[in-house]
């Protein structure tokens, strides 16, 4: 799957690498990683800008990348039974989206629409599998982070579901 439309990749080369590492290291997802792990991870990620209204991915579309929001906001929306869009979450700086897609490659469970211009980094599923093969210790740290994050979200969703029953 192509990374979303209407975006521009930012930065390239060794001059940008330090900035990319700083972006990654400043996020909640990776703020406890050692610097050498952040530098290694940066070798597999790209940074992009996307304007308001850009659709990062659509519900039901095949997904194969994780987004790490550096600046700006993204609305996560789903259509209700009447076809009306409902915002179910707003993802801001330091947060991630697309975690399930990077693991299972299944269709996206919601649509992600930029609500404030964003700077984000992307880890594709292909690059994640490269990390697994080339840097298994780093891959293990990332998988543990993803497992914790998905577990927390499942607990929250279960609690919300019980409240509605």
Higher-confidence residue: 13 or 70?
Answer: 70
3-class secondary structure, 71: strand
- Residue 2, pLDDT score: 46
φ/ψ of residue 86, rounded to 5: -125, 125
- Residue 1, pLDDT score: 39
Pick the CATH number of 7-157 from 2.60.120.10, 3.40.30.10, 3.90.1170.50, 3.40.50.10490: 2.60.120.10
Q: If you average pLDDT over every residue of the chain, what do you get?
A: 86
18: enclosing H helix or E strand: helix 13-25
Give the mean pLDDT of 108-112. Answer: 90
Give the mean pLDDT of 93-121. Answer: 89
Angle at 125 between CA 124 and CA 129, to 5 degrees: 120
DSSP per residue over 80-127, as a string? Answer: -TTS-EEEEEEE-TT-EE-HHHHHH-PBPSSEEEEEEEEEEEEEEHHH
Which are the contacts of 10, defined by CB distance < 8 A and separation ≥ 6? 16, 47, 48, 49, 119
15 confidence band (pLDDT: 50, 70, 90)? low
158 confidence band (pLDDT: 50, 70, 90)? confident
Q: For the segment 28-82, what is each residue's pLDDT rounded down to a tens digit?
A: 888 899 999 999 999 999 899 999 999 999 988 877 899 999 999 999 999 888 8
Record the tokens describing residue 68, joined without a space: 């790490």
Q: How far apart are CA 18 and CA 101, in angstroms?
A: 27
φ/ψ of residue 55, rounded to 5: -90, 115
């Amino acid at each position: 799957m192509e990374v979303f439309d209407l975006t521009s990749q930012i930065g390239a080369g060794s001059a940008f690498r330090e900035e990319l590492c700083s972006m990654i290291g400043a996020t909640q997802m990776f703020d406890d990683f050692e610097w050498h792990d952040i530098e290694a991870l940066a070798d597999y990620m790209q940074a992009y800008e996307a304007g308001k209204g850009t659709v990062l991915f659509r519900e039901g579309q095949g997904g194969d990348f994780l987004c790490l929001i550096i600046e700006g906001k993204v609305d996560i929306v789903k259509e209700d039974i009447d076809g009306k869009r409902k915002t179910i979450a707003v993802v801001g700086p330091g947060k991630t989206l697309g975690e399930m897609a990077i693991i299972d490659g299944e269709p996206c469970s919601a649509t992600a629409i930029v609500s404030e211009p964003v700077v984000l980094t992307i880890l594709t599923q292909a690059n994640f599998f490269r990390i697994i093969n080339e840097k298994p210790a780093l891959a293990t740290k990332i998988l543990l982070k993803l497992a914790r994050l998905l577990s927390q979200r499942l607990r929250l969703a279960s609690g919300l579901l019980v409240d509605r029953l």
